[in-house]
Amino acid sequence: MKPQWEHLYAEMLTDINRCKSLDLPETEVLEGCCRIARDHWKVIKEVSMEMGFNTNAEEIEFFRDVKPQFTCHIEYYLLLYQATLLVPAAIAKQLKFWQEEALKYKRFYDGNEDFIKYYESGNRYNDQTFFLRTGLKEFRITDKAVYEDEDLRTSHDGIVRTFMANKMYYEFVKEKMAELKEKKT
């Protein structure tokens, strides 16, 4: 990531950590973290649209690496928020709930396995198709409007974003399950 993006990313993480340390109800903290991530994404989007991309390599780097680093946090905090609202109050039912939540990652991975393996391998041979806006015409996009990126997206940056968010969420879910199992013993 270029220094300008690294600086904004570090700033976003600092703001999120500050928000997480506030003495507020959990849902308010999660809303705040999501808002922080979305606000930082808006800045990145504005700067990117104003500056444009000088080369295909620059555009690919943005959509492959930069944009998902920011937008995955929006999706992650939305997943956490939703889970917070849906988790059963009865402790006896919570483990089952988190076990079912863990399956979200597996379902997403299974549905996008070929692309995720490509992405994680570091291969770059299809990057022009996946991460240039010119490749957008070849694919149907079904992204949620919450990312406000209709005018700044590619066919696969949303898959990277959701993959990263689901990975973070899966780690959170595993911790919740371990806590609950520990309480039982």
Per-residue pLDDT of the chain (185 residues; tens, 9 = 90+): 677 899 999 999 999 999 999 999 999 999 999 999 999 999 999 999 999 999 999 999 999 999 999 999 999 999 999 999 999 998 889 999 999 999 999 999 999 999 999 999 999 999 999 999 987 665 555 555 556 677 788 989 999 999 999 999 999 999 999 998 888 76
Task: Write down the pLDDT at residue 92.
Answer: 83
Residue by residue, DSSP assigns 114-183 as HHHHHHHHT--TTHHHHHSGGGGGGS-----GGG--TTS--SSHHHHHHHHHHHHHHHHHHHHHHHHHHH
Question: How far, in Å, CA of 96 to CA of 93, rounded?
Answer: 6
Task: Write down the pLDDT at residue 147.
Answer: 61
Q: What is the pTM of this model?
A: 0.92
Task: Write down the pLDDT at residue 55.
Answer: 96
SS3 (DSSP) at 23: coil
Task: Write down the pLDDT at residue 149.
Answer: 75
Position 81, amino acid: Y
142: its two tokens: 């079904």
Task: Write down the pLDDT at residue 140.
Answer: 55
Q: Tell me which DSSP letter residue 112 carries.
A: T
> Of the candidates 55, 27, 65, 163, which has an alpha carbon nearest to the alpha carbon of residue 106?
163
Determine the Cα angle at 160 with ends 27 and 116, to 5°. Answer: 125
